[in-house]
Structure 1
């Protein structure tokens, strides 16, 4: 099943690269794409529970879904994730 989640703190291609690489580590998640323009991530999952796992992973790396709180800590994590995404080629 395909799911699209609007996310917070997405600023650039470095952020997108980090989100894609971290979500691709999850076994139930495939075909991950990120739209910086719409601040959203699109992916396929095998079951409904995997969507919760994706949201938890996004929040843990600083890109909470639009329906989750966006704390100062989340914003700080997103800056670190953004920088590491830009540096990894």
Structure 2
């Protein structure tokens, strides 16, 4: 098992972090998901590079693309929805 830390965009609050932890933890072979709101970073353990790429895609689908990836208006909008869901489910 390996660990990675990824810098993401659009991270605003604990609601965002809650959604990210909840959704990434549902992925196969992803564990120990943590979010640092101060540094805009997500850390997690993974088994294979395919698992890592699946987590990165999931982050982007939720509206939190990795730093350097295109951050389109639809992605920003998705992050607000993910944030709101995270707040409600917290």
Q: Which runs of 5+ in 2 are unaligned?
A: none
| TM superposition outliers: structure 1 runs of 4+ over 6 Å | none
Paired residue for 1:79?
Answer: 80
Determine whether 1:43 maps to 2:23.
no
| Superposition TM-score, scaled by structure 1 size | 0.97
Deviation at 1:74, TM superposition (A): 0.3
Give the whole-Å Cα distance in 2 for the aligned partners of 1:9 and 1:22: 16
- Contact kept? 2:28, 2:51, Cα under 8 Å: no
| Superposition TM-score, scaled by structure 2 size | 0.96
Paired residue for 2:20?
Answer: 19
Q: Which runs of 5+ in 1 are unaligned?
A: none
Give the whole-Å Cα distance in 2 for the aligned partners of 1:31 and 1:69: 27
Kindly tell me the number of residue pairs found equivalent between the two proteins: 89
RMSD: 0.7
Paired residue for 1:31?
Answer: 32
Give the whole-Å Cα distance in 1 for the aligned partners of 2:34 and 2:75: 21
